[in-house]
Amino acid sequence: MTSKISLKEKQRRDREQLILDYAEKMLLEKGYHDVSMDEIAAGVGVAKGTLYLHFPKKEDLAYALVKPKMLSFLSSVEEAKAFSGGPIEKLEYLLQRELTGAFFQFLLKSSSDMTTIFKSYETEIHEVLSQIFSGIHEILNEGKREGVFDPELPVEFMSSAFINMFEPHLYKEMVVVRRMPLEVYIRHTAILFFQGIMKSKEMK
Amino acid sequence: MTSKISLKEKQRRDREQLILDYAEKMLLEKGYHDVSMDEIAAGVGVAKGTLYLHFPKKEDLAYALVKPKMLSFLSSVEEAKAFSGGPIEKLEYLLQRELTGAFFQFLLKSSSDMTTIFKSYETEIHEVLSQIFSGIHEILNEGKREGVFDPELPVEFMSSAFINMFEPHLYKEMVVVRRMPLEVYIRHTAILFFQGIMKSKEMK
Amino acid sequence: MTSKISLKEKQRRDREQLILDYAEKMLLEKGYHDVSMDEIAAGVGVAKGTLYLHFPKKEDLAYALVKPKMLSFLSSVEEAKAFSGGPIEKLEYLLQRELTGAFFQFLLKSSSDMTTIFKSYETEIHEVLSQIFSGIHEILNEGKREGVFDPELPVEFMSSAFINMFEPHLYKEMVVVRRMPLEVYIRHTAILFFQGIMKSKEMK
Amino acid sequence: MTSKISLKEKQRRDREQLILDYAEKMLLEKGYHDVSMDEIAAGVGVAKGTLYLHFPKKEDLAYALVKPKMLSFLSSVEEAKAFSGGPIEKLEYLLQRELTGAFFQFLLKSSSDMTTIFKSYETEIHEVLSQIFSGIHEILNEGKREGVFDPELPVEFMSSAFINMFEPHLYKEMVVVRRMPLEVYIRHTAILFFQGIMKSKEMK
DNA sequence: CATGAATGAGACTTCATTCAT
DNA sequence: TATGAATGAAGTCTCATTCAT
């Protein structure tokens, strides 16, 4: 019963994954508007009609790529909130968890397009982003209450700066091109966010 | 007779400004790919051909919007470098100078598209961005030498985080929507960048 | 199973032929610049996009019409060279072979445009025309060596005059409109080319 | 009275000639459809509006170039008819008269477009061409009657071949590029037309 | 008269989406 | 179910022609 759903269903999922993989690669490389459905179909090796069997619209295909990353980020935020330790540890956990792997690449890379492309998913996206930010704000407020975070700074400032830390461009330059070890990259990111660029006296 | 260059030339510039204004509005609102030349022409109240009299390609129209902002930012960087005071004061000057007004809106808003849209201007853009970053790096390195900036952090990290401070989304939310006074906004931005979110002991 | 390439492929070719037929008709009638892709699509009864499925550019559609005629002429030249008989017989064979049917209509009709329209095919066309002329020159030189053709006349003169014989305008006037039997038309053409307009003493 | 029409009128004519000269150059070089009115105006150094002051339509400008050449050819035909000597001498006179200078270049070069471009002048062109051909036919028939031209060949054949002799391409190749003396070129052309390519026994 | 900015019809081309096989 | 040919709306850009200055 467990494995009987498969056979055809498995093939279907495999194929869908092939599509998603190739689409992600191309979308990241050339941007939403410069990748055609033809191009994706050809690259995957299926007919264009097949794409539409899996994703009714181009928008849906792209969103199928963005959604799990957004949700993954959200669940990381939830995990961070539950993480044992103070607010600093929680944010470090989140940093560690999402800075590796695919993290926010897509969202940020296409951030400007987010609103223009995913019109049908506008509310859904807004919903998830709200939860993400409110989760981060919770942690930040906790930190403020505990006196470890600057009480003067609005959490919106902090969270926005925090999200900017995930900017994939820098990651690529440092980790991929210059081969900076990931843990060093994460450490620098943490220092930057927690202490700023001033010469510090302490930190951990 | 001194300003006899005008008459027709003035009209030409006025109209060009009308086009640029409307185009900026729409481009910011809907994004490059969702604004058609027809739409801009109609909005400005001129014929399609008139647009092409001023800008040979859609790309050129968009770049005519981006270029001055980029150059303005660059010259602010140059001014900042020459600003009397330490590296902190220089960066604060830059922050103050460009956080107001048009600053980096367009660049950042369309950052993801920059490479895909402005193909013909790729090298020119790269050139200017290089100068901008190298100017900022100079200031940052000066700060490192003087012992005020964290010597452990690579300047690329710092500059990237610094540029992210210009993210227009937060500006809009805070200053425009929530009516936060600009000087407060700038102060928070500076704190965030220089000291991070940790409760500080000092700062100025 | 032998002709199993068909089914869809056949339909594709049929439709392509429909397009080519209608395009040839219109192009001959109105000229390249006065026939729009819209017009062709409408005339054939397909959508505009379908045209571009078969021919990526308007230029390609037009060249698809010209190319086979050019190649057919070239292969006739090759056949003529191998034709048993003297140089006169060879040229007569070529005359006979290409004066009927579609022959050089398109090429000559659009000769002036050839260079301006088929920019992408410039070298290819030049290549084929070179072969055509060099083939004809071979025959002409053979005739000169054998003492049947005027040794004083440059072959370029002769070949140019020969090619001019294929001028479709006269063919239409004489054979189509005035119903001159084709063999008479060919005979007159041969006389003109071989003996000129002077009252002859002989000829075959 | 004779010279009082001038002053402004002369300037007007000079300017018109400048326009015509430049237009002829460009039209010959790039073809009717690939030369824009902008391009001509810029090349001549006048405003586009000025072009339209002299020629109401692009078609008119082009026809102003073609017409005098056609008329010149026609009057040469008339002169040839009146030329003292037999039909051969008359045609040789015509050959000599029009093969030099600008002769039929334009007409032939653009022959294919003639019908498509000069729609408004269709009947006028037809009229002149009719006169040209009927003049040539007169000479040819005279030759036939006198027994010097082949009575078997229809005059339409002969005249068509005769006109083809003016093909500018060959002229350019031989006289301009290969520096063949003009009188040799004319002589070859005459031989070709009168005697064909066969080794002749006589001819003057 | 001369100018050249403005016009707008219309050309070519792309591409997301559909649907008969 | 998978295919890919067909569709046609929509986009960018050109250019002959007009007309206010």
Q: What is the pLDDT of residues D121-138, one digit of tens each?
A: 989 988 998 999 999 999
Report the pLDDT value the prediction gives residue B1, as an integer from 0 to 100: 42
Report the pLDDT value the prediction gives residue A161, as an integer from 0 to 100: 85
Domain-embedded: residue D124: yes
Domain-embedded: residue A204: no
Report the pLDDT value the prediction gives residue A45, as an integer from 0 to 100: 95
Last residue of a domain, one of A34, A55, A76: A55
D204 DSSP 8-state letter: -
More confident: D118 or C6: D118
Residues 54-83 of chain A: which lie with beta carbon within 7 Å of strand E?
A: 56-59
Query: How far is CA A50 from each of CA A19, A45, A61, C76, rounded to the nearest angstrom?
Result: 10, 10, 12, 48
Residue D7 in this model has a pLDDT that exceeds 80: no
**Looking at the structure, do residues D99 and D127 belong to the same domain, yes or no?**
yes
pLDDT bucket at B65, cuts 50 / 70 / 90? very high
Distance from CA of C23 to the nearest CA of D (A): 16
Q: Which two tokens stand for residue B182?
A: 């600009």
Q: Which range has the worst mean pLDDT, A175-189, B13-27, C102-116?
A: C102-116
pLDDT bucket at B171, cuts 50 / 70 / 90? confident
Instruction: Find where tokens 């007919």 sit.
Output: A47
Report the pLDDT value the prediction gives residue D102, as an integer from 0 to 100: 61
Domain-embedded: residue D142: yes
Task: Determine the 3-state secondary structure of C149 from DSSP.
Answer: strand
Give percent above pLDDT 90 in chain D.
47
Residue D40 in this model has a pLDDT that exceeds 90: yes
Upper half-sphere CA count for residue B39 (Cβ side, 13 Å): 15
Domain-embedded: residue C123: yes
Give the closest residue to C112 by CA, choosing from D111, A93, D192, D129: D111
Report the pLDDT value the prediction gives residue B174, as an integer from 0 to 100: 86
Report the pLDDT value the prediction gives residue B201, as an integer from 0 to 100: 52
Q: How high does pLDDT run on average in chain C?
A: 85
Domain-embedded: residue D6: yes
Q: What are the DSSP calls for A118-142, one per residue?
A: -GGGHHHHHHHHHHHHHHHHHHHHH
Last residue of a domain, one of D40, D55, D70: D55
Instruction: Tell whether D30 is within 8 A of chain C (Cβ).
Output: yes
**Looking at the structure, do residues B143 and B118 belong to the same domain, yes or no?**
yes
- Count: domains in chain C: 2
**Looking at the structure, do residues C82 and C126 belong to the same domain, yes or no?**
yes
pLDDT bucket at A57, cuts 50 / 70 / 90? very high
Give percent above pLDDT 70 in chain C.
85
**Looking at the structure, do residues C81 and C165 belong to the same domain, yes or no?**
yes
**Looking at the structure, do residues C141 and C94 belong to the same domain, yes or no?**
yes
Q: Given phi > 0 = left and psi -120 to 50 = alpha, else beta, which region is C103?
A: left
Give percent above pLDDT 90 in chain A.
47
Distance from CA of B197 to the nearest CA of A (A): 5
Domain-embedded: residue B29: yes
**Average pLDDT score over residue span B45-59:** 96
- Dihedral over Cα of B118, B124, B130, B133: its sign: negative
CATH classification at residue D147: 1.10.357.10
Give the closest residue to C193 by CA, choosing from C99, C100, C101: C99
Strand F and A49 CB separated by under 7 Å: yes
Nearest nucleotide from residue B59 CA, by C1' atom: F12
**Looking at the structure, do residues A43 and A90 belong to the same domain, yes or no?**
no
Report the pLDDT value the prediction gives residue C203, as an integer from 0 to 100: 44
Cβ contact, residue pair C197, D149, below 8 Å: yes
Nearest nucleotide from residue B34 CA, by C1' atom: F11
Q: What are the DSSP calls for C7-50, one per residue?
A: THHHHHHHHHHHHHHHHHHHHHHH-GGG--HHHHHHHHTS-HHH
Report the pLDDT value the prediction gives residue D109, as an integer from 0 to 100: 52
Report the pLDDT value the prediction gives residue D106, as an integer from 0 to 100: 57
H helix count then E strand count, chain A: 11, 0
Report the pLDDT value the prediction gives residue A46, as an integer from 0 to 100: 95
Domain-embedded: residue A202: no
Helix axis angle for A87-99 and A58-82, nearest 10°, is 150
Domain-embedded: residue B116: yes
Closest residue in D to C140 (Cα) is D197
Instruction: Tell whether C46 is within 8 A of chain D (Cβ).
Output: no
Which phi and psi angles does B83 have, rounded to 5°?
A: -65, 135
Give percent above pLDDT 90 in chain B.
48
**Looking at the structure, do residues B113 and B35 belong to the same domain, yes or no?**
no
Task: Determine the 3-state secondary structure of D149 from DSSP.
Answer: strand
Give the closest residue to D163 by CA, choosing from D117, D100, D94: D94
Residue D63 in this model has a pLDDT that exceeds 60: yes
Residue B181 in this model has a pLDDT that exceeds 80: yes
Cβ contact, residue pair D112, C111, below 8 Å: yes
CATH classification at residue C89: 1.10.357
Residue A28 in this model has a pLDDT that exceeds 80: yes
Domain membership of residue C31 as a residue range? 1-55
pLDDT bucket at D101, cuts 50 / 70 / 90? low
- Interface probe, candidates A34, A112, A158, A197, chain B, greatest B C-beta count within 10 A: A197
Strand E and A147 CB separated by under 7 Å: no
With contacts defined as CB-CB under 8 Å, which chain C residues touch D33? 33, 116
Task: Determine the 3-state secondary structure of D198 from DSSP.
Answer: strand
Q: If 0-12 CB within 10 Å is exposed, 13-18 middle and 19+ buried, where does residue B177 land? A: exposed
**Looking at the structure, do residues A76 and A10 belong to the same domain, yes or no?**
no
Give CA–CA dist D47/A151, Å, rounded.
Answer: 69
Residue A172 in this model has a pLDDT that exceeds 90: no
CATH classification at residue D30: 1.10.10.60
**Looking at the structure, do residues A118 and A173 belong to the same domain, yes or no?**
yes
- Tally Cβ neighbours within 10 Å of residue B148: 15
pLDDT bucket at C74, cuts 50 / 70 / 90? very high
Report the pLDDT value the prediction gives residue C102, as an integer from 0 to 100: 61
pLDDT single digits (tens) B84-140? 999 999 999 999 888 875 655 555 555 556 678 898 999 998 899 899 999 999 999
**Looking at the structure, do residues A120 and A158 belong to the same domain, yes or no?**
yes
Report the pLDDT value the prediction gives residue C172, as an integer from 0 to 100: 79
Last residue of a domain, one of A15, A30, A55: A55
Q: Which range has the worst mean pLDDT, A133-137, C10-14, D46-50, D65-69?
A: C10-14
- Is the separation of the CB atoms in D82 and D177 below 8 Å? no
- Is the separation of the CB atoms in A76 and A94 below 8 Å? yes
Give the closest residue to B168 by CA, choosing from B103, B77, B123: B103
Residue A201 in this model has a pLDDT that exceeds 60: no
Which chains border C (3 or more CB–CB pairs < 8 Å)? D
**Looking at the structure, do residues C51 and C70 belong to the same domain, yes or no?**
no
Chain F bases near protein Cβ (<7 Å): 1-20
CB-closest option in B31, B195, B199 to A116: B31
Report the pLDDT value the prediction gives residue C139, as an integer from 0 to 100: 95
**Average pLDDT score over residue span C175-201:** 82
**Looking at the structure, do residues D77 and D15 belong to the same domain, yes or no?**
no
Report the pLDDT value the prediction gives residue C204, as an integer from 0 to 100: 42
